[in-house]
């Protein structure tokens, strides 16, 4: 694969200055009508009093602005997604997470749960004229202080989301799993959790935390089922690149374990291989330190694959971040990218050594997997004990 040279986020903004200037000038008029995909963004700064923002656009086709699965399916590139998200406005208010029952949050919650693009009227103050980007979340465009929000049209609720929303005796974890099992997109589940629409003791949850919580809870639910499956029949690998993220998956027959290793090459020259995170059969008791939300997103994609195979493996993943991925687009990139790469059949090899060798050959940036991987070291140790 040709490695695309790095782009600067600021150069990308400058290139689209005319489009972005039109958006900011419109927002500065103060009173504006628009549409939400629907989407919200809840910050974590100054927790427990956090910013709760409605994401909106003047484009009536608002759904396309928050549609990760559609972007992947139709082949959007990093530049296109970055520009699409950068033209949004995040109209926000500060809210105490312990007091979600107010008129503003009621309207935000309904707008977030709606199935349809929703027309809204807003009164904006204090427009910030630089698009904001977070390393963990999809770019969310300009920000503005919100002094008024009105829902112009009626919302349409999915029957399963409606059931969970009105069931105040349903635990949050059970609600998330119920929605997932009823084919509600995980992007929508995390938004519902974020605005406090799921669970018994409901709280507003920062968006980044909600995304990881959903990936973790659903993953743990799948893991209980995967652990009941027989061990896989051979060693295999699966490789592929999505949105500048290259994945090499190594499947080794045995009891469940998982490890994620990451390598960055942002500028086309300097390569950095970071510390990874892992879990053995018993799982983790603490949040991962090094790979953050990517760990739980990729683990979920792997467990979905193992469920479809009805097999159990130890899985080692190397995620390589290339210069093509010049702007952070959000944890959804690794979840949907891993799902895309894992679709189809695995490539099996006659031995573990052969699988590892082919995995190393598939890497863009060489690393010593045998030395770096804790899970592989543990597998080899167990093998040696069994052969003793």
**pLDDT tens column, 198-214:** 999 888 999 999 999 99
Is the domain of 73 the same as that of 209?
no
Identify whether 90 is part of a domain. Answer: yes
Which residue, 151, 179, 209, sits at the end of a domain? 151
pTM more than 0.75: yes
Supply the CATH number for residue 262's domain: 3.30.230
Report angle CA 183, 178, 286 to the nearest 5 degrees: 105
Identify whether 4 is part of a domain. Answer: no
**Closest by CA position to 80, among listed 190, 243, 196:** 243
Is the domain of 146 the same as that of 54?
yes
Is the domain of 82 the same as that of 120?
yes
Which residue, 102, 129, 151, sits at the end of a domain? 151
| Total domain count, the chain | 3
Is the domain of 37 the same as that of 165?
no
Strand ranges (DSSP E) for 204-302? 235-242, 245-253, 257-264, 272-273, 277-279
pLDDT of residue 1: 47
pLDDT tens per residue, the chain (388 residues)? Answer: 455 555 666 677 667 777 777 777 777 778 888 899 888 999 988 888 999 989 888 888 999 999 999 999 999 999 899 888 888 888 888 888 877 667 888 888 988 999 888 899 888 887 776 655 555 556 677 888 888 888 887 888 999 999 999 999 999 999 999 999 999 999 999 999 999 999 998 889 999 999 999 999 999 999 999 999 999 989 999 999 999 999 999 999 999 999 999 999 877 678 888 889 999 999 888 999 999 999 999 999 999 999 999 999 999 999 999 999 988 899 999 999 999 999 999 999 999 999 999 999 999 998 899 999 999 999 888 766 565 4
DSSP conformational letter for 65 = G
**Enclosing H/E stretch for 313:** strand 313-321
Tens-place pLDDT, residues 186-243: 999 999 999 999 999 888 999 999 999 999 999 999 999 999 999 998 999 999 999 9
- Structural contact between residues 256 and 313, judged by C-beta atoms closer than 8 angstroms: yes
Is the domain of 173 the same as that of 132?
no
Which residue, 93, 126, 151, sits at the end of a domain? 151
Identify whether 188 is part of a domain. Answer: yes
Show the tokens assigned to 378. Answer: 């543990």
Domain extent, residue 181, equals 159-226
Q: How far apart are CA 59 and CA 64, in angstroms?
A: 10
Main-chain phi, psi angles of 17, to 5 degrees: -60, -40
Instruction: Give the length of the chain.
Output: 388
Identify whether 3 is part of a domain. Answer: no
Identify whether 2 is part of a domain. Answer: no
């Amino acid at each position: 694969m040709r490695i695309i040279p790095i782009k600067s986020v600021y150069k990308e903004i400058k290139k689209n200055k005319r489009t972005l200037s039109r958006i900011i000038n419109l927002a500065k008029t103060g009173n504006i009508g628009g549409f939400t995909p629907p989407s919200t963004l809840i910050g974590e700064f100054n927790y427990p009093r956090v910013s709760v923002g409605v994401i909106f656009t003047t484009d009536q086709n608002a759904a396309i602005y928050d549609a990760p699965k559609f972007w992947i399916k139709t082949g959007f590139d990093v530049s296109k997604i970055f520009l699409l998200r950068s033209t949004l406005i995040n109209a926000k208010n500060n809210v105490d997470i312990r007091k979600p029952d107010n008129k503003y949050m009621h309207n935000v919650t309904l707008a977030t749960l709606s199935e349809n693009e929703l027309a809204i009227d807003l009164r904006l103050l204090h427009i910030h004229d630089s698009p904001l980007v977070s390393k963990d979340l999809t770019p969310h465009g300009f920000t503005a202080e919100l002094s008024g929000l009105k829902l112009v049209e009626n919302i349409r609720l999915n029957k399963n989301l409606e059931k969970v929303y009105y069931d105040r005796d349903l635990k949050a974890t059970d609600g998330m799993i119920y929605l997932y099992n009823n084919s509600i997109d995980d992007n929508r589940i995390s938004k519902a959790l974020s605005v406090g629409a799921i669970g018994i003791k409901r709280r507003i949850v920062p968006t980044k935390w909600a995304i990881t919580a959903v990936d973790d809870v659903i993953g743990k639910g799948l893991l209980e089922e995967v652990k009941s499956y027989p061990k896989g029949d051979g060693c295999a690998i699966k490789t592929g690149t999505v949105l500048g993220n290259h994945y090499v998956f190594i499947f080794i027959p045995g009891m469940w374990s998982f490890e994620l290793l990451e390598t960055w090459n942002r500028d086309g020259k300097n390569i950095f291989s970071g510390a990874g995170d892992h879990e053995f059969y018993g799982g983790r008791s603490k949040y991962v330190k090094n790979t953050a939300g990517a760990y739980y997103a990729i683990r979920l994609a792997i467990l979905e694959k193992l469920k479809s195979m009805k097999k159990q493996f130890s899985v080692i993943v190397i995620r390589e971040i290339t210069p093509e991925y010049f702007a952070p687009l959000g944890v959804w990139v690794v979840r949907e990218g891993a799902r895309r790469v894992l679709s189809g059949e695995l490539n099996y090899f006659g031995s573990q050594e052969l699988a590892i060798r082919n995995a190393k050959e598939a890497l863009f940036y060489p690393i010593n997997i045998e030395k770096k991987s804790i899970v592989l070291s543990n597998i080899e140790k167990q093998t040696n004990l069994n052969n003793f």
